[in-house]
Amino acid sequence: MTIQTSLGRRGFLASTTAVAGGFSLGFHVPFLDDGAANAQAGVRELNAWVVIHPDDKVVVRIARSEMGQGTLTGLCQLVAEELECDWNKVTWEYPTPGQNVARNRVWRNFSTGGSRGIRESNQYVREGGAIAREMLIAAAATKLNVPAGELTAANSVITHKGSGKSVRFGEVAAAAAALEPPKEVKLKDPKDWKIAGKPIKRLDTVEKVTGQQIYGMDHTMPGMLVATVRACPVIGGKLKSFDAAKIEKMPGVKKVVAIDGNAVVVVADTYWNAHTALAALPTEWDVGELGKVQQDQIKATLKAGLDAPEAFVGNKAGDAKAAIDGAAKKVTATYSFPYQHHVTMEPMNATARYTADKCEVWCGTQNGEAALAAASEASGLPVAKCEVYKLMLGGGFGRRGRSDYVRQAVLVAKEMPGTPIKLIWSREEDMTHCQYHPITMAKLTAGLDKDGNLVGLHVRISGQSILASLLPQNLVNGMDPATFQGLMQTGVEAAYGYDVPNLLIDHAMRNPHITAGFWRGVNVNQNAVYMECFMDELAEAAGQDPLAYRLKYLKPKWAAVLKAACDKAGYGKPLPAGHFHGISQVMGYGSYVAGVAEVSVADNGQVKIHKITAATNPGHVVNPAQIDRQVAGSFVYGLSAMLYGEITVKDGAIEQTNFDTYNMLRMDEMPKVETVLVPTHDFWGGVGEPTIAVAAPAVLNAIAKARGKRVRDLPLMHHELKKGA
Amino acid sequence: MAVLNVNGKAMDHNAAPDTPLLWVLREQLGLTGTKYGCGIAQCGSCTVLIDGAPMRSCHVPVKGVAATAKITTIEGLAANGKLTKIQEAWVASDVPQCGYCQSGMIMAATALLAAKPNPTDADIDAAMTNICRCGTYQQVREAIHAAAKA
Ligand code: FES
Ligand code: FES
């Protein structure tokens, strides 16, 4: 069927050209396979988003991936709100990426990142719900023989006011499905929402507390074998040789194969046998000059970039250099933020089955269409002969937006046509073969007038570009605009909140050989640390309160959310002895966020983060309970990086291999998190990521107050905060 | 062929004696609710109960588990579809995000509440050392307190 209104305007498939060429029908799709049976049972697809069963069960199709962020529940709420169905009848399913291609991208974007799940698709999924409701009402009008305008839908029942007659959705779904969809629908005013906007429970909880949820790691098929991989420890290095004969007789081993010239894989009957054999496999690598790269060299390269004459300009006003030179007082500080690893709890894995005319993949992915493209490229089959079945993700955080593990699984499956191969990365493989949060440094220089007013500011960032690493085609004349997240001149995505008369924010791009990638919060993380810690330094230099100082320069929406956080936290009011407040704010992912951390530092240097109060203005609130959880969870992520997160390079390879060398925050360090929502209802912002970035600077600012000593290079674990140290 | 007592049932497997219990459960017995996170006893995703004690099954060679030792996995908690009060509390507090760590969390919490029916925050800090990368700790704490009161 064709849907008019804005659903009619299809986006373009952007994954790769392989996918763009693949618009043809004729392959296996789970719910299409059930088509005949479903039709007989009266199950009807009203449009791409909504399927209704005769017993009123509603199936909402979710194109984005659920990885813990709650997007599937939120999207269901939005569809159900417009559909006017009974929330208790709502279930969900994933359409497949292949089917999206076959149906002219009716579900549009599958990519799940950048906190875009809801803010980018709210309009068209709500329209999907509203269109389905109108079709149900039209069918009910015919059945009840009354004008459609006299009918109202609520709780999966359509009622005629005058006569009191009513029908259930399930009774008219089949008739409704045969109707032309309306050309225009009016969406509800969010202030009339009954399902959306409410703290409704997630739809995916019971499976997750009973062990029934199937993740990629748990997928199994008849005849399946299990593989595990070791790629060259130096990213960019090659496989030189391996001695398969040494392990071929080991228990369960079926095959030893090299893939992509840089990795070796053992296929066995079980993971444990594959793992044991791989550990015993003699392997030699060709790492060349890359094998000589050390962490100190990377740092030195970045450091040199702090004063380099050439840099990409990301934000500029007036003449910062002249203003700083002529200022009464000059303040300078240098900060640094190391490589980070995503560490999804579930290591990378994918199951693939290849035959000469079909390639199928079962996996958790943040980008189903990119996974489909990867399957096509790796198998050499056209997209129309490939399919990806999305499974639940044991965490994404940006890691599963890349399809390297899908490619590997397909390459192995291709070596054993017809046999399903589940490729599992060990935690060690996962830790050492990621696309890492980029390493950067920043030198901030400010000029203050005699009253402490900020007259000029230069922020020089030096370090790695994600786009140069992953998507060089998206660089703009060599510049990586994403580097300036949170510091951008304008825009609805991540704009800089301060009005500074003379400003220069620029980036000296320095790209080590380590692959850089999107990591929950991306570049907002370090940019917020740099800017928000430095604002505290400026307030201190001016002898003014950090909140009052910020409010002199912050634009209204940024200021409002910071004030909301401070009000809720009781900023400025007395705290228990030895406790200090630190504040920060940022705009990211379309939302405005701020945090107030309450921290104490014991005489022995032990930092205790008692509480963080976080305010968010996401424009519209779809599920306040889930926002609460995203905020608390994002703080665990951001604080783990601040306290412990550091990936380092030795002889060209990643040094950290598992949780014993890459620590993270646990229960005993968890601060109490209080969330304040201050929606202004005039835009749609993201939620999963923005607040990560305010945790670290707020805590660092509080520590600086507590200790009178400021930490400028992370992680905190390297710093002695003992009294007198 | 060796025997394990899992969730009240005797189950056969033919894994090599050095195989960690985790992989025997997952790959030989089809109990995939117990998760692999690190393999080095750091993260707790693989936590099961052995005779009531929480054990990180990635570090328990199967040869060390007696045929009579009672192993409980996440699949063995709910009886006839009825969730335990801890699982109920987890649902009521909407604890899981991605959910991958939650089997281990729930098993650790089950052992904690069996030993200390009314745990303090400090007890929870000490017993719940599992890693949750999604950061559900605040809800985990809330759910444990709620289950203690239920
Ligand atoms: S998998 Fe056993 S503790 Fe991590
Ligand atoms: S819920 Fe995702 S790791 Fe804990």
DSSP string, A564-626: HHHHHHTTTS--STT-EEEEEEEEETTEEEEEEEEEEE-TT--EEEEEEEEEEE-SS-S-HHH
Same domain? B38 vs B104 = no
Q: Any CB–CB contact under 8 A between A217 and chain B?
A: yes
Strand, helix or coil for residue A268: strand
Please, which residues have CB within 8 angstroms of residue A704's CB and are 6 or more apart in sequence?
A533, A536, A582, A710, A711
Contact B94 A201 (CB under 8 A): yes
Please report the pLDDT score of residue B81 as a whole number: 87
Residues 86-115 in A contacting B (C-alpha not used; CB under 8 Å)? none
Same domain? B34 vs B58 = yes
Distance A227 CA to ligand 1 centre (A): 20
How far, in Å, CA of A413 to CA of A423, rounded?
9
Please report the pLDDT score of residue B21 as a whole number: 98
**Encoded tokens for A317:** 């006003």
* pLDDT beneath 50, residues of chain B: none
Q: Closest ligand 1 atom, CA of B44?
A: 3
Same domain? B104 vs B65 = no
Last residue of a domain, one of B20, B41, B76: B76
Query: Which residues of chain A have a CB within 8 Å of the CB of B16?
Result: 251, 272-273
Q: Are B74 and B106 contacting, i.e. CB atoms less than 8 angstroms apart?
A: yes
CA-closest candidate to residue A393, choices A342, A436, A428, A432 = A342
Residues 608-627 in A contacting B (C-alpha not used; CB under 8 Å)? 625
Walking along chain A (725 residues) 10 residues at a time, the average pLDDT comes out as: 30 29 28 58 90 97 96 97 98 97 95 91 96 98 97 98 96 96 96 97 97 98 98 97 98 98 98 98 97 98 98 98 98 98 98 98 98 98 98 98 98 98 98 98 98 98 98 97 96 95 98 97 98 98 98 98 98 98 97 98 96 98 97 98 98 98 98 98 95 97 95 97 83
Same domain? B7 vs B48 = yes
Q: What's B60's domain CATH number?
A: 3.10.20.30
Which of A69, A213, A272 lies nearest to residue B27, judging by beta carbons?
Answer: A272
The whole-angstrom distance between A182's CA and the closest CA on chain B is: 37
Q: How many domains does chain B have?
A: 2
Residue of B nearest to A276 (CA): B19
Residues 646-705 in A contacting B (C-alpha not used; CB under 8 Å)? 658-660, 664-668, 670, 672-673
Tell me the CB-side half-sphere exposure of residue B85, using CA atoms within 13 A: 11
CATH architecture designation of domain A295-340+436-718: 2-Layer Sandwich (3.30)
Same domain? B43 vs B93 = no
Pairing of strands A503-509, A454-463: parallel
Please report the pLDDT score of residue A24 as a whole number: 24
Helices (H), A25-155: 30-33, 35-40, 71-83, 97-102, 122-144
Q: Are A665 and A639 contacting, i.e. CB atoms less than 8 angstroms apart?
A: yes
Specify whether domain A216-287+348-424 bears CATH 3.30.365.10: yes
Please report the pLDDT score of residue A43 as a whole number: 84
How far, in Å, CA of B140 to CA of B129, rounded?
12
| Secondary structure (DSSP) of B55-92 | EEGGGSBGGGS-TTSEEE-GGGTSBTTBPPHHHHHHHH
How far, in Å, CA of A301 to CA of A313, rounded?
19
Query: Which residues of chain B have a CB within 8 Å of the CB of A629?
Result: 94, 97, 136, 139
Looking at CATH, the fold of the domain delimited by A13-209 is given as Aldehyde Oxidoreductase; domain 4 (3.30.365)
Same domain? B7 vs B64 = yes
Same domain? B7 vs B71 = yes
Same domain? B142 vs B102 = yes
How far, in Å, CA of B135 to CA of A243, rounded?
43
Q: Are B69 and B5 contacting, i.e. CB atoms less than 8 angstroms apart?
A: yes
| Secondary structure (DSSP) of A235-256 | TT-EEEEE-GGGTTTSTTEEEE
Range of the domain at B106: 85-149
Last residue of a domain, one of B76, B104, B132: B76
pLDDT digits (tens, 9 = 90+) for B74-86: 999 999 889 999 9
Contact B99 A70 (CB under 8 A): no
Distances A512 to A25, A460, A462, A648, B97 between C-alpha atoms, Å: 43, 18, 12, 12, 34
What pTM value is reported for the model? 0.95
Same domain? B44 vs B67 = yes
Residue of B nearest to A659 (CA): B42
Same domain? B36 vs B58 = yes
A453: left (phi over 0), alpha (psi -120 to 50) or beta: beta
The secondary structure of residue A714, as a DSSP letter, is S
Same domain? B71 vs B89 = no
Distance A514 CA to ligand 1 centre (A): 27
Please report the pLDDT score of residue A704 as a whole number: 97
Q: Do domains A13-209 and A295-340+436-718 have the same CATH topology?
A: yes
How far, in Å, CA of A408 to CA of A349, rounded?
9
ipTM of the complex: 0.98
Please report the pLDDT score of residue A35 as a whole number: 59
Residue B79 dihedral angles phi and psi, to the nearest 5°: -110, 125
Q: What's B138's domain CATH number?
A: 1.10.150.120
Last residue of a domain, one of B76, B100, B126: B76
Per-domain residue ranges for chain A?
Answer: 13-209, 216-287+348-424, 295-340+436-718
